[in-house]
Structure 1
Amino acid sequence: TAVIREFAAQRDTVMKDMGVTHSFYRPSLTRPDQWWDRWYDFQMPYEALTGGKPWVEGNKLVLDKEGAIEAFELIGLFGNSIQSGEISSIWTEENPSVLVTINAPWEISLYRENNKVYGEDYVYGQAIVKKDGDIPYNFADSKGLVFYKNKSVSDEEHAGAVEFVKWVYNKDNSAQTDLDWLNATTMLPVRGDLNDNEMFADTMKEYPELEALAEAVPYAIPSIATEKVTDIQTALTESGTGPYMNEVMNAEPGNAPDAAPYVEAAMEAMKQAGGLE
């Protein structure tokens, strides 16, 4: 809060001289069609502030209400210093007009192509926690494999496909598979030894950008396990983050509006959208 208020105090002086107009860039907070961004601007702060609590289990909404309020209000603290307009090339500009955003490793290649140097032009930080020593739980953009079986696929072929995937991801092969993935994408595989396993040493040395992020991987939590994830997170935006942000954009930085009524409305909407108890 103190840092955000300090930004506001210097907004028309020091920040203006630097070409900085806003403190936080997040244009998708009010957009239901970008429901997946709630993984990063809701689920991630929610997990970090609640100690990794779930929010959907089976057919039940088990969202920690107070934790959700804190997650909303963490964003709300930025007030009208949030840049909600789309600026496609913002982080490749020589002097970006915004200080902070929520980002991920898939941007690394873009930064490198534009001669952005990690530690000089930008740094990655851990998920924000309540106090020093808290575990920085965060979001894991996990991917799954689905095997479809129909009349054209024999039982033997189906079983063979399953065994092949088991072989690819077994203990002996997984490090090489994960290294190949990392080198191709700069996206971190979900494993806890990225900074310790010699298999990854050369790549981690080449990409110091990934070192701090790798420390957080053991605490990464996947998306809610439901086929209604799109409906639920769309409802979260339509009834929660969207209308809340409309109020936030009229608030002074450091003075987050009360998020309780928006969280309550979002919880009811998510129950309806997801068929949850």
Structure 2
Amino acid sequence: MKIKKVASILFAASLTVSGLAGCSTGNKDSKTAGSKNGVTTIEFWAAPNPTQQVYWKEVAEEFTKENPKIKVNVSPMKESPTSEASIQSAIAGGSAPTLSENINRGFAAQLADSKALVPLDELDGWKEVTESRKMENTMKGWEFADGHQYVLPIYSNAMLFGWRLDILKELGFNEAPKTYSEMLAVAKKLKEKYPDKYVWAKADLADPTAWKRWFDFFMLYDAASNGNKFVEGTKFTGEAKAGEQVLSFVDGLRKENALLPKQAKDPFESGLGIFTDIGPWTIPYWADKFPDMKFNETYTLALPPVPDDMDPANAKTFADTKGLVVYASATKEQQKAAMEFIKWVYANPDNDVKWLEKTSLPPARDDLTSNDAFKAFFDKNPALQPYAAAVPNGIPSMDNAKYNDIQTLIGQQAFNPVVKGEKDPKTAWKDMQKAIEGALK
């Protein structure tokens, strides 16, 4: 699922956090809701994506055959105006499902602040789920500031950077650069040989829209800071050294005239730019629309470059990742049934194999490259193997209800001005920090 299609996640104008809190427990204490003739019915909202809906309906049917006392009704969540707004409306109206998927960490923070979610770690069976699914490393980045876990990540797109390998080889480089100095060396060679080409050609670099920072600033920052959380609770915890290194690196590319922050048609595919963020959803798209884009021939994939004093082998990166939540409005009986369903799904790696085959989204587990259950899939899809290997390196979005405002400030105060040459890196970081600390008060 391409997160950019649904990344602008805002509370509906008519809803408030306090309003959600007041409506989030409407049927929690009802002893009869969801239960009839000894059968507990739970409502599951699947993402507004046909492949995911098919998957969940199939596994729900299989689960009910083995567990006849629990019925799982699967239906797609509405996405008008957004799936997030439909969830908020349902909570406010007392019609929230028992559980749903399609929740990222930032949106979960909004819902958790309003007491609309159940802490999953307080439900019996939580530890069993994370252990049987081999999620120890993946889950480390998901703990919320209050120490709880509100989301079980389903998939994790640990974002990678694509490099035009064919053009790198023309410049005398046989592999993707791994450090800032290596990348700047590529920039110099590129401009010498091809003055009209750029390292990074992408209009989003100069756009302050909040979600766009996931695919440039945070990919680089997560690598430079070794996965620093940036914001924890109501405190700005960003590492100045890492942040300034990232901004100085971007400024270095600008000084080499290696950035093109303007609209261009298919800049990476055309070779106008030789470096860009790539998600796993791009691979099947290229197979259909750009068949000349061949893995390890035309392009290669790599973790983000890191400062010269860091080991690039295990660099962290931003993870486009969403998962399951259980809503506080569900009865205790429904919450228990929901956990039984979750346990059943993730006790068997074949269910994650089926998910991968239907969606091409890497399951959020640490053993994708070592578990034989996934071997046949990745043998057939070698370009997706780097994403599988990077899952444990993925850092999810921040768990702060104001993340949309915070990420807008990153663009406005720091990243965009540096790209445009309007601020030096140190000033940009200080201005950004001051603005974010003000927003967090």
TM-score range, shorter chain: 0.7 to 0.9
Query: Are 2:179 and 1:4 equivalent residues in the alignment?
Result: no
| Structure 2 match to 1:254 | none
Give a deviation string over 1:31-87, Cα, whole Å, max 9, x none.
222x12212211221121222222111111110011001112222222132122223
| Structure 2 match to 1:142 | 321
- TM-superposed CA distance for 1:111, in Å, is 0.8
In 2: Cα distance, 1:155 partner to 1:193 partner: 33
In 1: Cα distance, 2:351 partner to 2:211 partner: 27
- 1:145-184 aligned at under 5 Å gives the runs 145-150=324-329, 154-169=331-346, 172-173=347-348, 175-184=349-358
- TM-superposed CA distance for 1:179, in Å, is 1.8
Sequence identity percentage: 28
**Which of 247, 251, 261 is residue 72 of structure 1 equivalent to?**
247
- The letter of the residue matching 2:253 is F
- The letter of the residue matching 1:244 is V
**Which of 415, 419, 439 is residue 241 of structure 1 equivalent to?**
415
- The letter of the residue matching 1:220 is G
Give a deviation string over 1:220-246, Cα, whole Å, max 9, x none.
111111111111101111111122222
In 1: Cα distance, 2:248 partner to 2:418 partner: 9
| Structure 1 match to 2:202 | 26
CA contact (8 A) 2:235 2:440 kept: no
CA contact (8 A) 2:221 2:242 kept: yes
Give a deviation string over 1:73-104, Cα, whole Å, max 9, x none.
22222213212222343444xx4322111221
**Which of 420, 424, 429 is residue 263 of structure 1 equivalent to?**
429
- The letter of the residue matching 2:285 is L
- TM-superposed CA distance for 1:10, in Å, is 2.4
Query: Are 2:397 and 1:223 equivalent residues in the alignment?
Result: yes
In 2: Cα distance, 1:274 partner to 1:26 partner: 30
In 2: Cα distance, 1:217 partner to 1:190 partner: 7
- Structure 2 CA distance for partners of 1:104 and 1:74, relative to 1, 3 Å: farther
For the residue of structure 1 that corresponds to 2:275, the secondary structure is: strand
For the residue of structure 2 that corresponds to 1:102, the secondary structure is: strand
- The letter of the residue matching 1:37 is K
CA contact (8 A) 1:4 1:77 kept: no
Moved more, 193-202 or 75-84: 75-84
TM-score, structure 1 length as denominator? 0.82
- Structure 2 CA distance for partners of 1:258 and 1:91, relative to 1, 3 Å: closer
In 2: Cα distance, 1:159 partner to 1:191 partner: 23
| Structure 1 match to 2:376 | 202
In 1: Cα distance, 2:431 partner to 2:418 partner: 10
In 2: Cα distance, 1:238 partner to 1:227 partner: 19
CA contact (8 A) 2:202 2:264 kept: no
| Structure 2 match to 1:253 | none
CA contact (8 A) 1:229 1:274 kept: no
Computing the radius of gyration over CA atoms, which structure comes out larger, 1 or 2? 2
CA contact (8 A) 1:26 1:102 kept: no
In 2: Cα distance, 1:77 partner to 1:184 partner: 42
Aligned residues: 252
Give a deviation string over 1:188-233, Cα, whole Å, max 9, x none.
2222221211111111111111222322222211111111111110
Task: Give ranges in structure 2 of 5+ residues lacking alignment.
Answer: 1-183
Query: Are 2:239 and 1:84 equivalent residues in the alignment?
Result: no
In 2: Cα distance, 1:7 partner to 1:89 partner: 19
